[in-house]
Copies of this chain bind each other. A is one copy, B any other.
Amino acid sequence: MIRFPKIPEMRKIDVCPTPELLHLYNLENKIAVIVDVFRATSCITTAFAHGVAKIIPVAQLDECRALQQQGYLAAAERNTLKADGFDLDNSPFSYMDPVLKGQTLAMTTTNGTLAITKSRAAARVVIGSFLNRRAVTDYLLGQPHDVLVVCAGWKGKYNLEDTLFAGAVVCTLKNEFVIEDDAALAAQMIYDAAKYNMIKFIANSSHVRRLAGLHLTRDIEFCLRENLYNVVPVLENGALVV
């Protein structure tokens, strides 16, 4: 009698539209891909691509200040602006500075770092953005785990740019993974409608209006560039590394 090897069950992919809904998801044995396109995870990706050694993400300004006082360079953003007294803002261009090479940074942002710290129960936490999209999906394809894309949103609410990225990940993985629920289906549909002109597509989104008002269109365009960097930041012992 021929014995066929047991065919492994297909892995699953799902999307959590905002960290405010994370308590409804089981993170156990999953890889959580955190995305905050405008701009935290785009900054983190850019930082590692330019040689930063480690980033300690924290949810609160106080924690970030305490780390700054211990000697770390500290990045802090609230409501799209740099918080008073910190070293770095939340623009990806600020993370290309050669002086950051080899450094450890502390970082807190309105949405992105909160999404990271809330996802710590996952088997692994990785950082996704359009800038490292292919690197992230290649990484996910090579792992045995189910995937949950966690959209950082805006103060708990749904947003379009993180959903777009989630949809891009679903599109890339859908032949190898089963789509688990409607949020992932919807993200995929939105990405399919938008993929040929993302900038035009999200021109009316709330965050683009918020950033454009601060003359940050250069940041918007940069954060929507795809596959510029081949890094996959991963959370290890509370700090992001590559």
Residues of A within 8 A of B (CB): 17-18, 20-21, 24, 154-160, 163, 179, 181-183, 185-186, 189-190, 192-194, 204-207
Contact = CB atoms under 8 A, between A and B. Distances in A.
For the complex, would chain A's binding face be called helix, strand, loop or mixed by DSSP majority? helix
A41 B32 CA distance: 35
B163 A186 contact: yes
A163 B159 CA distance: 14
A204 B179 contact: yes
Copies of this protein, total: 2
A182 B156 contact: no
Contact of A157 (B24, B154, B159, B160): B24
A205 B20 CA distance: 22
Given A21-B21, A163-B186, A193-B193, 11 more contacts: A21-B157, A157-B181, A157-B183, A158-B186, A159-B182, A163-B182, A179-B204, A181-B206, A185-B205, A186-B190, A189-B193
Nearest to A201: B189
Contacts of A185: 160, 204-205
Contacts of A21: 18, 20-21, 156-158
